[in-house]
Amino acid sequence: MRDISTSLDMPKILVAPDKFKGVLSAREVAEIIANGLHDVLPDAKIDIVPLADGGEGTAEIICEALRGSARSCRAHDPLGREITAHYCWIESRKLAVMEMSEAAGMRRVQGEKVDVDLASTFGVGEMILDATKRGASEIIVGLGGSATNDGGFGMARALGFRFQGLEKTSDARTRALVDLVRIERPSARLSLPKIIAAADVRNPLLGENGATRVFGPQKGVTPDKIDMFERALTKLADVVTNDFHFDFRDKPAAGAAGGLGFGLASFCGARLQSGFEVVAEAIGLKAKMEDVDLVITGEGSLDRQTLSGKTPDGVAQMARSLGKTVYAIAGRASEDRQVQTLFDGVFAASPPEMAQDEALARAAELLKAAARMAALQFSKRRAS
C-alpha cells in the first residue's frame, strides 16, 4: 500500500524564474527561492531552472543548459567603436546563441550621453557573419536591452546590403533613411543559416505601440525627434516592401530592439518568436515540468507587462496546460486582477510602503522570506 504521508512529505518543486533586472541574475533568484523553500520543506525535491525571455541573459541560460562554450569576434558597439563581442556556441547542433545587446545594447554605452540617431546595429550584423562563417546551421538572436532605434539598418549594412539615395553613402544616421530610394542585396552571395529572433515584446515597428513611441524615450529619443524616427522607419518599411515584395512592419515583435525584429525578418529571413518559447524549447522546460507538484516562477516586477509574453506569463500558461499549481514570487507585484489570477499564489518580496533603495539593498533577504511564505501556503494547500 502506498505511504501517503511519505508522498506528502516529499513534494517535487520546479523553480523557474527570470532575473530581477539589475539586482539578481536568474540563477541567483532561483537559488535564493530554493533556500527559502527548504527552510519550510526540508525534504522537498527542488529542481532549479533559470529562465529568460529574449532579454539579457538569454544566451547564457541556453548556453549553460546545452553545455555550450563562449566564442568571440571583433565587432562595433552602437557608436561605432571596436569591441570584442561574445556569443554562445553549441558544437553538437552548430547552434549560435547571441544577444543583440552584446554589440548594440545600452550596457555598451552605460553612463554616456548617446545620440540615438547615430546608434547602430552594425555590430549585430558582424556577429551574425562571424557565426555564419563558423558554420552555424542556426542562430538565435535575443532582442532585449537595445540602445538603438534603426530598424536593423546598421545590421543590414554590415551584411552587405546597399542603401541607395542617402545624401552620403557613408551616412549611417537613421534619419538618412527618409531619403532612401532603393535597397540592393549584397553583391557577393549571402547565404545565412536559419535565424530565430527571440523577443520579449510584441510591438509592431510603427505607430502608437511601435518601436519609437514606446521604447525610444528610454534610449534618449526626445519628443521633438519622435516624428523624425517614425518617418525614417516608415520609409525603410516602404522601400523594403517595394523592393523585396514582403512587409513585416505590423508583425508582432517587429518593433523589438528598436525595430531590429523588423530588420532581421526583412534582411535575414528570420522567424520572429516569443523569447520565452525559444528558451523553453531549447532547454526542454515542458518535460521538466511534467513530474512536479508545484512550479514557482518570478521576476523583479510583476505587472501588466508580464502578460505580454514575459517569463512568468509563459511559465504560468505552460504549468496550467499541464494541470500544475503555479506560484509567482516578485520584487513587487501589481494588484491587477488579470495578473493575480494568472497564478495560484502571488508573493511580493517587498511591501508597497518600502522605499526602493531599501528593497534593492535587502533583495536577497526579502526574496528568501517570500519563498518561505510560498512554501507555507503550499503546505496548507496540500494538507487541505
Q: Over 50: is that where the pLDDT of 137 sits?
A: yes
Question: pLDDT tens digits, residue range 3-17?
Answer: 333 445 689 999 999
In this model, does residue 85 exceed pLDDT 60?
yes
Q: How much is the pTM? A: 0.90
> What does the pLDDT read at residue 26?
94
Beta-carbon count within 10 A of 39 CB: 13
For residue 284, pLDDT beyond 70 = yes
User: What CA–CA distance (Å, rounded) separates 176 from 164?
Assistant: 11
User: Hey, what long-range contacts does 8-12 have (CB within 8 A, 24 or more apart)?
Assistant: 8/382, 8/383, 9/43, 10/43, 10/44, 10/45, 11/41, 11/44, 11/45, 11/293, 11/294, 11/378, 11/382, 12/44, 12/45, 12/46, 12/47, 12/291, 12/292, 12/293, 12/294
Dihedral of alpha carbons 241, 245, 250, 251, sign: negative
Q: Where are the domains of the chain?
A: 4-50+286-383, 58-276
Specify the 3-state DSSP secondary structure of 188. Answer: coil
Is the Cβ–Cβ distance between 95 and 140 less than 8 Å? yes
Confidence of residue 113 (pLDDT cuts 50, 70, 90): confident
The answer to whether the 4-50+286-383 and 58-276 domains have the same CATH topology is no
3-state class (DSSP) for residue 86: strand
pLDDT digits (tens, 9 = 90+) for 163-194: 999 865 456 899 999 999 999 999 877 899 99
**Which H or E element spans position 282?**
helix 275-283
Residue for cell digits 508583425? 251
Q: What is the per-residue pLDDT for 7?
A: 46
Mean per-residue pLDDT, 85-95: 97
Mean pLDDT (whole number) for 113-130: 96
Give CA–CA dist 30/37, Å, rounded.
11
Assign domain 4-50+286-383 to its CATH architecture: 3-Layer(aba) Sandwich (3.40)
What pLDDT is attached to residue 28?
A: 96
For 297-346, what is the HEC assignment? EEEEEECHHHHCCCHHHHHHHHHHHCCCEEEEEEEEECCCHHHHCCCCEE
Which of 3.30.1330.60, 3.40.50.970, 3.90.1510.10, 3.90.1170.50 would CATH assign to domain 58-276? 3.90.1510.10
Per-residue model confidence as pLDDT tens digits over 26-35: 999 999 999 9
Mean pLDDT value across residues 200-229: 95
Residue 62 confidence (pLDDT): 95
Give the strand pairing for 345-348 and 325-333: parallel
Q: Would the pLDDT of 52 be above 60?
A: yes
